[in-house]
């Protein structure tokens, strides 16, 4: 008999085994430590995450991150999976519907998720549950050895150095779009030691920056003050921050499709567009 329940009393090892089985056919595989870091970065809350078990064995789950997004307390689907021999039974939908009163009681106002655009079956399920598309995202990857890091000459008036940057206040005006859940400063600060931040300065004023998660090759944020663009700063920062990266691949996940300047910059560096996602949200 299937039992729906919170993940508060589910061990991480048990969750990992089910996660591993549920995603065994996926191109990208996470080991135990990579999963632990991913869940931490995205704000995983076991008490407000839920799963389905049969005879004490977890067979389906949704791991929810809890935090604030656009000023509202939000739950974020940081991982939903079902073991292959339990698919087609609507377990993910049952788990989600079971979670709603608990999330609402905890003061959650919105539920946020991302889904690959080619996953039409999942999109259809989410639409039936009341989710609406809020944004379209691109994701890019490239092997380090295939990157084009030949940048334009940068004026000597610009200096680059590492810096501590844990708030959006000083850089928000640089943005052409607001970072997604997994790329915002709340997410970065949950595991800040894994990130390197490099800034470009003009007369001691920060005018461009980029943030890289070194253990995964994830370029989390990169932005340039609008009055200092087309001066080669983004290319210089990218080249310098990748200089000592040992991870074999660069990933740039969740750039807005509407931001054509970002797309053109990444493609000019031979960072290839690999696919697209929808950001979807439901009010609770």
- What's the confidence (pLDDT) of residue 153? 79
Q: Whose CA is closest to 154, among 227, 244, 237, 245?
A: 237
Query: Largest Cα–Cα distance in the chain?
Result: 69
Judgement on whether residues 166 and 263 belong to the same structural domain of the protein: yes
Judgement on whether residues 101 and 178 belong to the same structural domain of the protein: no
What letter would DSSP give residue 178? Answer: P
Instruction: Give a yes or no: residue 118 inside a domain.
Output: no
Instruction: Give a yes or no: residue 44 inside a domain.
Output: yes
Q: Are strands 50-54 and 57-69 parallel, antiparallel or unpaired?
A: antiparallel
- Domain of residue 30: give its range: 2-108
Strands of the 72-82 sheet, one edge to the other:
2-6, 50-54, 57-69, 72-82, 110-116, 272-283, 132-143, 249-256, 218-224, 205-213, 195-202, 158-162
Instruction: Give a yes or no: residue 78 inside a domain.
Output: yes
Instruction: Give a yes or no: residue 11 inside a domain.
Output: yes
Report the 10 Å Cβ neighbour count for 258.
Answer: 13
CATH, residue 171: 3.40.630.30
Instruction: Give a yes or no: residue 73 inside a domain.
Output: yes
pLDDT at 26 over 80: no
Report the 10 Å Cβ neighbour count for 39.
Answer: 23
pLDDT at 56 over 80: yes
State the average pLDDT for the chain. 95
Judgement on whether residues 164 and 269 belong to the same structural domain of the protein: yes
Judgement on whether residues 261 and 154 belong to the same structural domain of the protein: yes
- What's the confidence (pLDDT) of residue 27? 67
Instruction: Give a yes or no: residue 159 inside a domain.
Output: yes
Would you mind telling me the total number of residues written for the chain in this entry?
A: 284
What would the pLDDT profile of 202-217 be if each residue is shown by its tens digit? 999 999 999 999 999 9
- What's the confidence (pLDDT) of residue 159? 95
pTM of the model: 0.93
Judgement on whether residues 145 and 65 belong to the same structural domain of the protein: no
pLDDT at 127 over 80: yes
Judgement on whether residues 14 and 101 belong to the same structural domain of the protein: yes
59, 89, 108 — which closes off a domain? 108
Q: Provide the domain count of the chain.
A: 2
Judgement on whether residues 88 and 204 belong to the same structural domain of the protein: no
- Rounded distance between C-alpha atoms, residue 19 and residue 228, angstroms: 45
- What's the confidence (pLDDT) of residue 149? 86
Judgement on whether residues 263 and 189 belong to the same structural domain of the protein: yes
CB distance 272 to 125 below 8 Å: no
Instruction: Give a yes or no: residue 119 inside a domain.
Output: no
In this prediction, residues 190-208 reach a mean pLDDT of 95
pLDDT at 221 over 90: yes
């Amino acid at each position: 008999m299937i039992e729906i329940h919170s993940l508060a009393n589910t061990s991480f090892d048990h969750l990992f085994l089910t996660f591993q089985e549920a995603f065994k056919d996926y191109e990208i595989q996470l080991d135990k430590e990579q999963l632990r870091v991913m869940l931490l970065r995205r704000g995983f809350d076991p008490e407000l995450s839920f799963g389905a078990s049969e005879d004490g064995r977890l067979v389906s789950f949704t791991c929810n991150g809890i935090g604030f997004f656009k000023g509202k307390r939000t739950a974020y689907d940081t991982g939903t999976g079902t073991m292959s021999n339990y698919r087609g039974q609507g377990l993910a939908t049952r788990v989600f519907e079971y979670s709603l009163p608990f999330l609402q009681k905890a003061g959650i106002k919105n539920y946020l998720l991302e889904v690959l655009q080619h996953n039409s079956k999942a999109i259809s399920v989410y639409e039936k549950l009341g989710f609406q598309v809020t944004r379209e995202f691109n994701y890019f990857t490239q092997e380090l050895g295939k990157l084009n890091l030949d940048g334009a000459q940068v004026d000597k008036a610009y200096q680059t150095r590492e810096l501590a940057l844990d708030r959006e206040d000083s850089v928000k005006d640089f943005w052409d779009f607001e970072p997604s859940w997994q790329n915002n400063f709340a997410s970065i600060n949950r595991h800040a030691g894994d990130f390197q931040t490099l800034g470009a300065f003009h007369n001691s004023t920060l005018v461009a920056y980029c943030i890289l998660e070194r253990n995964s090759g994830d370029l989390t944020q990169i932005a340039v003050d609008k009055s200092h663009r087309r001066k080669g700063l983004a290319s210089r920062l990218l080249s310098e921050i990748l200089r000592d990266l040992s991870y074999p691949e660069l990933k740039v996940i969740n750039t807005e499709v509407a931001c054509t300047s970002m797309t053109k910059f990444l493609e000019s560096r031979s960072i290839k567009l690999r696919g697209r996602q929808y950001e979807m949200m439901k009010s609770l």
